[in-house]
Structure 1
Amino acid sequence: MSRSTRRVLPGFNLTLGYTLFYLSVIVLIPLSAVFIKTTELGLAEFWAVVTAPRVVATYKLTFGASLLAAAINALFGLMLAWSLVRYSFPGKKLVDALIDLPFALPTAVAGISLTALYARNGWLGQWIEGEWGIKVAFGPLGVLVALIFIGLPFVVRTVQPILEDLDTELEEAAASLGARRWQTFRYVTLPILLPALLTGFALAFARAVGEYGSVIFIAGNIPMVSEITPLIIITKLEQYDYAGATAIAVVMLVLSFILLLTINGLQAWTNKVTGRDR
């Protein structure tokens, strides 16, 4: 067998070189610039910027709401994907198409729409806030609603193909052996879906952490209450405090990387336990 026929990709060296160059220009160099700009601050100045009470409050809201939104999307995204794959109902194709709406909808339009819907005088807000006393718009709960809205498609579109390819004979075999529906789902279906579910969770979380456009309209942007970290970075940039903005960005980058690395490690462990890495 000749050397050329052993290669999976023709021109592998050129392809690899182009890939590394593209990755460097698009990802590595911009991220390196963030770290380099931050070095303009001394260690004490850096610590003072990233641990300021107002900044810490944004960390708690941004990462807390992102994790909670991703968890909610993992649960309801699985239920929605299950319904689309396993059942037929009127309007199924329309529902399937609407799932991708957050992908195509400009984030500012999404934010304005959610604000109009959940404000005190909105269609839902007049009942939720006016009758029940639960404030959604212009508060932390509004941030959570916006992050759920933009993150749901990631879970559905990640789990849906796995469900479509799942062999129902496994579930039928479990049922024939006396397993109840929950036992079949717990011990047969869920282990197969779990890696895809964790991937959807990670994608939804990553999108939520950096979300800006759909959040600032419904959040109210009240310092120490409903202000997100991307907004405070923008605020510092508008004040020409570039070093301070990049310092906060570095903290977001490191925390996001640690969380995503943890999720990916959990996914790899799940694949190993279930035997899907073989």
Structure 2
Amino acid sequence: MRTRFDLLLILPAGLFALAFFVVPMARLALVGASGPEGLGAYFSVVTNARHREVMLATLALSAAVTVATLVLATAAALFLARHRFPGRGLLVAMLTFPLAFPGVVIGFMIILLAGRQGLIGQVSDALVGDKIVFAYSMAGLFTGYLYFSLPRVLITVMSGVETIDPAMAEAARSLGAKPWHVLRDVTLPALKPALVASGAIAFATAMGAFGTAFTLATDIDVMPMLIYTEFTLQANFATAGALAIVLGLVTWAALLVARAFGGASVAAAG
């Protein structure tokens, strides 16, 4: 009786996954192998120089965004979780506000900040007589990805900090440990599950994000834009499908590794 009830509980989620994940992914995999290259299309990220370069650039960008996000968000989370002051709630709300913005809006914000008529360009032109413009490059995309990754990581790490027993840090300090040693030997190891989980989320989001890249794509080659170009401009459905499957597999592999190192807490990220 218990088993039958459990099956009834999982049935809606199973039907949803079948209809909106398994069937579409299977169809996409078949489309990817339907081109002239057949199954060889799935190896184009190795055999095709441009595809390989774009994949490596996407991996490097996602890794850089993940590291920068973890460093900034961890520092902010440690401060916010340990201090209570007037306006703290408002500050946390402002830091998590980017969660409400779609990627296209973030792209426009980067253009307003670092575009040809952006604020940074106007200030640099007034100071040194030369406009600094980086919105339409990898630097602009990095800034955009960092902007929408920070809130996700910040929330997760703050929750992790609040679960740490303060007595552990107090015991370390009473034994003569300096603040840096407490951070390195006590706080960060205790935060490992939260850091790995949030890092996996940041990496996966950066690998597949499209809206911001589409808005800024003047001189940007990342996998989502390559797939979009193959699908819409070249009408190369097989290549686009194969690249989409490969992108998904690479991201899934990264999440799998993160879960292996971070434990079950990374399940939410995958």
* TM-score of the superposed pair, with normalisation by structure 1: 0.84
- Distance in 2, matches of 1:245 and 1:148, equals 27
Question: Which consecutive segments of 4 or more residues in structure 1 shift more than 6 A?
Answer: none
Cα pair 1:128 1:135 within 8 Å, conserved: no
Q: Is the 8 A contact 2:196 2:262 kept in 1?
A: yes
Residues 246 and 169 of structure 1: CA distance in aligned 2, closer, same or farther (over 3 Å): same
Contact 2:194 2:265 in 1 (8 A): no
Cα distance, 1:266 vs. partner?
1.8
Paired AA for residue 33 in structure 1 = R
Residue 209 of structure 1 is matched in structure 2 by 207
What does the per-residue CA deviation read over 1:163-207, in whole Å, with 9 as the maximum and x for residues that have no partner?
122221111111112111111121111111011011000001111
Out of 89, 93, 106, the position equivalent to 1:93 is 89
CA deviation after TM superposition for structure 1 residue 127, in Å:
4.3
Matched, 1:254 2:252: no
1:133 Cα offset (Å):
7.5
Check 1:151–1:270 CA distance in 2 against 1; reply closer, same or farther (3 A cut): closer
Q: d(CA) in 1 for partners of 2:102 and 2:202?
A: 17
Find the residue that maps to 2:54 and give its secondary structure. Answer: helix
2:196–2:258 Cα contact (<8 Å) kept: yes
1:95-244 alignment, distance < 5 Å: 95-127=91-123, 131=128, 135-220=133-218, 222=219, 226-238=220-232, 239-244=234-239
Structure 1 residues not aligned, in runs of 5+: 272-278
Q: Which runs of 5+ in 2 are unaligned?
A: none
- Conservation of the 8 A alpha-carbon contact between 1:150 and 1:208: no
What is the RMSD computed on CA atoms of the aligned residues? 2.6
Q: CA deviation at 1:38?
A: 1.3
Distance in 2, matches of 1:56 and 1:192, equals 38
Is the CA contact 1:110–1:214 (under 8 Å) kept in the aligned structure 2?
yes
Q: Aligned to 2:50, which of 48, 54, 79?
A: 54
Percent identity, aligned pairs only, is 27
The separation in 2 between residues aligned to 1:266 and 1:258, in whole angstroms, is 13
Number of equivalent positions: 261
Instruction: Report the residue type matching 1:154 in the other structure.
Output: R
| Shift of residue 25, structure 1, vs aligned partner | 1.8
